[in-house]
Structure 1
């Protein structure tokens, strides 16, 4: 059994660039589809690092497997291993830590600017980042900052874009794991959710413009998070 666990919730929200980073480092990892019951019976004491990916469902949906996942996350938190949540994954971490997740009055979609919170300067999760940078977004829910956690990042449309709890838990609202193929897939399959009249959303054209360079820059953002996550697990 591998020491790295990735939890996913739907086939079109995979590990993305995270899987590529792990493959390049020749690190074995296990991917479980929690929505298909694959977390049931898993040895929660085996992984040394856990990543939680995104999904279209709400962290508040009455789905039994979400309760199973939140209970597992609380077990991992108690074990003091590094946890990294992406979008829904960040929201589930927030819930596991006692914070609320709630619907926003709009969706935040596209390449949106993020900036570091003033109190987050010097945080180890952000050492590779400038004060402001873009990240890909696609969400309609957001998390509150959990008790005892530190807000790290904000955007114009969502003040709680990232939090750190203790030194090993990072919850992100955005999608640093995106690849070119994933962006194109989402814009094909989810185009009906786009509404260019909302200022919180980019047009499809703007999202696809100069996509290779945008994704390459996003990969650098992601790799800094993943490097820190792996160092905490294996150094």
Structure 2
């Protein structure tokens, strides 16, 4: 069993840059496919940190493994384990903390500007506004006792922290160039760039190496703080 677990739910939402970040620092980590029943193999008393990635399903879907994962997250929260959630992962953390997750009347997609709402140790590395890649149709409410950290023009609740060790993100800071191309090639037909909340595909991939390099820096700031909490 590895010291760090990464919960995933579909092939197309892998650890991506998070895995690269951890491996570069010599951290032992293991991917756990919750949708394939692998949660049953996990000793929840063992990991020092857990990350939760995205997926195309909704937290509100009637899938038994979602209930199992939410229960596991509640156990980890009670253990005071550092947790970071990406998109669906952020929504799962919100639900584990008792908050609602609701369908938006549109999909938010593409590079969207985040506005920093407050000072936080999770945000010390970012300015007042910066972009994170998005692709979601659900949005979490802010859990009771949590702090709302970020918002975007199309989604008021882009990030929250709860206590000192839980971060829920609505966006995808883990993205790589290859993953963005893969999403647009395989699922771009699901988008409607005529909608103001959805960025045109050509705009999304323009200057992509520069955008990804900046996103990597944003992501690594989140991950450094999360890892420092785990190793502290």
TM-score range, shorter chain: over 0.9
Instruction: Give 2:41's aligned residue.
Output: 41
Gaps of 5+ in 1: none
Q: What is the match of residue 68 of structure 1?
A: 68
Deviations 1:102-157 (A, max 9, x none): 0000000000000111xx22x10000000000010000000000000000000000
Task: Give the drift of 1:194.
Answer: 1.2
1:211 aligned onto 2:225: no
2:157 is aligned with 1:192: no
2:146 maps to what in 1?
149
Give the match for residue 79 of structure 2.
79
Q: Does structure 1 residue 165 correspond to structure 2 residue 168?
A: no
Distance between the aligned counterparts of 1:114 and 1:30, measured in 2?
Answer: 30
The aligned length equals 232
Quote the residue 1:140 is aligned against: 137
CA distance in structure 1 between the aligned counterparts of 2:31 and 2:41, rounded to whole angstroms: 14
Matched, 1:90 2:102: no
1:21 aligned partner? 21
Matched, 1:54 2:39: no
User: TM-score by structure 2 length?
Assistant: 0.99
Aligned equivalents of 1:149 and 1:27: distance in 2?
A: 29
Q: Render the CA deviation track for 1:20-68: whole Å, top value 9, x for unaligned.
A: 0011101110101000000013111000100000000000100000000
Residue range with higher mean Cα deviation, 189-198 or 53-62? 189-198
- Segment of structure 1 superposing worse, 190-199 or 126-135: 190-199
SS at the partner of 1:138? Answer: strand
- Tell me how far apart the structure 2 counterparts of residues 124 and 196 of structure 1 sit (CA, whole Å): 35
Deviations 1:67-88 (A, max 9, x none): 0000000000000010000000
CA RMSD of aligned residues (A): 0.5
DSSP 3-state at the match of 1:90: helix
Tell me the TM-score normalized by structure 1. Answer: 0.98
